[in-house]
Amino acid sequence: MSKKQLNDIPFSVLDLAPIVEGGSASESFNNSLDLAQHAEKWGFNRYWVAEHHNMPGIASSATSVVIGHIAGGTEKIRVGSGGIMLPNHPPLVIAEQFGTLASMYPGRIDLGLGRAPGTDHITSRALRREVLPNGENFPEQVDELRQYLDPSLSSQQHHVHAVPGEGLTIPIWLLGSSDFSARLAAELGLPFSFASHFAADNTLPALEAYRNNFQPSSILEEPYVMLGASVVLADTEERAQFLATSQQQQTLSLVRNNPGRLQPPVKDIKDLMSEYEWLALKDKLYSSFTGTPETVKDQLQQFQDKTQADEIIVTSQIFDHQERLRSYELLADMVKE
CB 324 within 8 A of CB 21: no
Q: Is the pLDDT confidence value at 118 over 60?
A: no
For the residues 301-329, what does the mean pLDDT come to? 97
The predicted pLDDT at position 128 comes to: 61
Question: Mean pLDDT of all residues in the chain?
Answer: 92
How do residues 21-56 score in pLDDT, each as one tens digit? 999 999 999 999 999 999 999 999 999 999 999 999
Phi, psi of 83 (to 5 degrees): -145, -170
CA distances from 178 to 90, 211, 254, 265 (A): 24, 14, 19, 31
The C-alpha atoms of residue 162 and residue 171 are separated, in whole angstroms, by 16
How do residues 124-141 score in pLDDT, each as one tens digit? 677 765 655 556 789 999
Range with lowest mean pLDDT among 77-91, 149-163, 314-328: 149-163
The predicted pLDDT at position 275 comes to: 84
With H, G, I as helix, E, B as strand and everything else as coil, classify residue 64. Answer: helix
Q: Is the pLDDT confidence value at 71 over 90?
A: yes
Residue 313 CA neighbour count, 13 Å, CB half: 29
Domain 6-240+288-336 has CATH 3.40.50.1220: no
The C-alpha atoms of residue 244 and residue 316 are separated, in whole angstroms, by 9
The predicted pLDDT at position 258 comes to: 87
Q: Is the pLDDT confidence value at 227 over 60?
A: yes
The predicted pLDDT at position 200 comes to: 76
The predicted pLDDT at position 100 comes to: 98
Strands (E), the chain: 11-15, 46-49, 78-85, 109-114, 172-176, 192-194, 225-233, 288-291, 311-315
The predicted pLDDT at position 2 comes to: 64
Check the CA dihedral 306-1-217-110 and report its sign.
positive
pTM over 0.85: yes
